[in-house]
Every structure is written in structure tokens, then in C-alpha cells.
Structure 1
Amino acid sequence: MNAQFILLPLLLQIALTLAMYIALTRAKLRAVELDQVDEARRALHDDAWPDSVIKINNNIRNQFEAPVLFYVLVFALLHLGAVGWLAQLLAWLFVLSRIAHAVVHTGANRVPLRRRIFTFGCVILILMTALAAWVLVVH
């Protein structure tokens, strides 16, 4: 198995973040078009925008929280030579959890479901961290 294939889920996570920026731009343009924005407050206040924009904006912020640990872990696992089937499976599961989280967050925004998806992703990060630590200590 080619260890560099672990970069595929990493690139997909980056693509998700960029897709959220595109969605945000479209949502903002639509909100302005429909006169749903408080023009006097929009530069400094998130609440000047409609909920449709705020949800996407909040999700973009989320893409710079737990996923940052994922990026570091992918490169740590690569550096340690610890990218086998388990590391690759965990990487894909994490990114799939982030996609599911983004869909729920920017859609129905059902918090209990979002929390379960987020927790699943965090458990995956814990497992990736444990794998990296195990390889570092044992090898």
C-alpha cells in the first residue's frame, strides 16, 4: 500500500474547506440580492447576515479546529512511516465525518446529530494520535 495515498483524504478535507468558502460566497451574494443584510453592520457583525450565511460561516470556522489536528497527524504518520491500512482507514473515516458534519451544520443544523458526528471525528483523531504515539514509542 502506497503510504502517500493518505494524502487523498487530506486533499478531500482541503477541498471541503474550499467548497465551504464557495458556498459562503454564493450565500452572501444571494442574501445581498434579496436585501436580507443589515448593510450598516455587515462588515463587523455576523448577526447582520441571515441564518443561511451564519451557518456556513460557522462551519468554515469549524474547518480550522479539529481538522488542523488531522493535518498534523497525517504528516506525523507519514514521517514516522506509520501509514498502513489502519492509518488510511482512520483518515478516510475522519474526513467522511467532517463531510457529514458540514452537511448537517449547513443544512438542518440538528445539534444532537451534529454533536454525535463531531464526537465520532474526535474519537478518530484520538485513535490516530494513539497510533502515532505507539509507533513512535515501539519502533
Structure 2
Amino acid sequence: MAIHVAFTALLYALLTVARAPKIWGIGQRQDGSNPWATVEPRISANLSNQFEWPLFFYAACLLLIQVRAESPAAVLLAWVFIAGRVAHSCAQICTTNIRIRGLVFTVNFLATLGLWAVVVQARAAA
């Protein structure tokens, strides 16, 4: 969870840099345009995505911690989720390929569902 928080903070920093030419005039091209103009909306949209599906990841992780059910499978699924979030961000910010984004989102989706399966199993065993 801490890695995802740090990654989200990095995205905020990237968005600040992308908006700097428009907001503060720092880094503008000679003609006054923003060199980040095409990517800035994608960074912003991706940042919003960090507060949607990851909510379920955080809830599953917190429940696993609460019931002391951390397991190698849960840790692996959490790392798959984090790697998937980074890959999803790269796909959304650096490309316009919806298929790649969908594929990577599916990895995140399945990793989180896997975490929830561990939660349910742990709760049933308790």
C-alpha cells in the first residue's frame, strides 16, 4: 500500500510538471505553448484512476492485516496489483492504446479479486 501511495505522489509531481508551462509559464516553448499539452490530460485522468479500483485493493489489504491473514499468496497478489498499476499508468500516459490499458486493468482487477478471495477464505477459517 505504501508503494502505491508513493507512486500516486509521483503522479502528482508529474502532473505539476506537466501543468507548469500553462500555470506558471515555466518550460513553455518559444511560441508560448505547453510542450506537455497532449499528455497532461492523460496524466490527470490516470491520477483520477488511482482513486477508483485501488480502493478495493486497500480495503482487502487492511482486512487481511486486521485478521492477521497475510500470506505469500496475498503478498504476491499485492505486488502483481502494484506492477499492474504502474503498467496501466504507463499505458494510459504514454500511449493511446485502449487494448493495452484494458489488458493491464484486467491484471489489476484479477489481482484484487484474488486478494478478496484470500480475505473471504481467511474470514471463513476464523
Q: TM-score interval w.r.t. the shorter chain?
A: 0.7 to 0.9
Q: Which TM-score applies when normalising by structure 2?
A: 0.88
Runs of 4+ in 1 over 2 A off after TM superposition: 30-37
Counterpart in the other structure of 1:60: 47
Query: Which residue of 83, 86, 103 corresponds with 1:99?
Result: 86
User: Structure 1 CA distance, aligned partners of 2:33 and 2:49?
Assistant: 24
Task: Verify the 8 A CA contact 2:18 2:37 in the aligned structure 1.
Answer: no
Where does structure 1 lack aligned partners over 5 or more consecutive residues? 1-9, 38-48
User: Structure 1 CA distance, aligned partners of 2:50 and 2:84?
Assistant: 12
Report matched runs for 1:53-92 at 5 Å: 53-92=40-79
User: Structure 2 CA distance, aligned partners of 1:51 and 1:17?
Assistant: 20
Task: Verify the 8 A CA contact 2:56 2:112 in the aligned structure 1.
Answer: yes
SS of equivalent to 2:74: helix
Q: Percent identity?
A: 26
Give the C-alpha shift of residue 11 in structure 1. Answer: 0.9
| Deviations 1:17-40, CA, capped at 9 Å, x for gaps | 000000000011134424347xxx
User: Structure 2 CA distance, aligned partners of 1:71 and 1:130?
Assistant: 14
What is the CA RMSD across the aligned residues, in angstroms? 1.5
User: Structure 2 CA distance, aligned partners of 1:29 and 1:72?
Assistant: 34
Give the C-alpha shift of residue 99 in structure 1. Answer: 0.5
- The alignment covers a number of residue pairs equal to 119
Considering Cα pairs closer than 8 Å and 6+ residues apart, tell me whether 1 or 2 has the greater RCO.
1
Counterpart in the other structure of 2:21: 30
Give the C-alpha shift of residue 87 in structure 1. Answer: 0.7
Counterpart in the other structure of 2:119: 132
Q: Check if 1:121 corresponds to 2:108.
A: yes
Q: Which TM-score applies when normalising by structure 1?
A: 0.80
Give the C-alpha shift of residue 104 in structure 1. Answer: 1.1
Where does structure 2 lack aligned partners over 5 or more consecutive residues? none
User: Structure 1 CA distance, aligned partners of 2:79 and 2:90?
Assistant: 17
Task: Verify the 8 A CA contact 2:60 2:116 in the aligned structure 1.
Answer: yes
